[in-house]
Amino acid sequence: MKALAGIFALVPIAAVAGVITAQWQLPNWAQPQWAALSKSQQLELSLRLNPFVWQGDFDGDKALDVAVLVKRSSDGKEGIAVLWRNEATPTVVGAGTSIGGGGDDFSWVEYWGVEESGSLHEGSYAETIRLDADALLVTKEGSATGLIYFVDRKPQWQQQSD
Ligand SMILES: [Ca+2]
């Protein structure tokens, strides 16, 4: 064990960092899903925001799903792809597919994060909702905040006040 640790210690850190690509930061189960989606819809990972990947149970089936920030190769329009743990077909919002006040290009988003199942959310124009599953919040400071939640894995948009 000690000998093994010694070998690893000899590997320069820069060399290790160089081979860790962004895609490898996805969970193992999500990597083939992402590879297929990336190819079929011409999407790339967007590393503009940190983190570029969130885990959450976005369909409420008790299994963690993955949301990744993406951009469409053809025009650079950004969005979010949700890879479902127990469903083969991912859901894409933005990146050329419009959703509510979020539009079809999420390049305006400055922060994004996960809102937990059970939390209450007050909309600007709609009733307050209690989340049945985890959801995503996208924000531009002083400008716009939207909640993206999923019903039967279909994306819904709730505009929120700032
Ligand atoms: Ca799930």
CA of 67 to the centre of ligand 1 (A): 11
Spell out which residues have Cβ within 5 A of ligand 1, the ion: 57, 59, 61, 63, 65
For residue 154, how far is its CA from the centre of ligand 1 (angstroms)?
A: 13
Q: From ligand 1's centre to the CA of 77, what distance in Å?
A: 26
| 44 Cα–ligand 1 center, Å | 23
Note the pLDDT of residue 132: 96
- Residue 88, phi-psi category: left (phi > 0), alpha (psi -120 to 50), beta (remainder): alpha
pLDDT reported for residue 144: 87
CA of residue 96 to ligand 1 center, whole Å:
24
Cβ atoms of residues 66 and 54 within 8 Å: yes
Provide mean pLDDT across the span 57-86.
97
Q: Give 136's contacts (C-beta < 8 A, 6+ positions apart).
A: 54, 56, 58, 67, 80, 112, 113, 114, 115, 147, 148, 149
Please tell me the distance between residue 45's alpha carbon and the centre of ligand 1 in angstroms.
21
- Asked if the model's pLDDT at residue 55 lies above 70, the reply is yes
Cα 133 to ligand 1 centre (Å) = 8
> Which ranges of 20-147 does DSSP label H, i.e. alpha helix?
30-41
- Across 52-72, average pLDDT: 97
- The pLDDT of residue 24 is 85
Cα Rg, the chain, nearest whole Å: 18
For residue 30, pLDDT over 70 is answered with yes
A 10 A CB-CB count for 143 gives 9
Q: pLDDT digit string (tens) for 80-100?
A: 999 999 998 999 999 999 998
Mean pLDDT of all residues in 121-139: 92
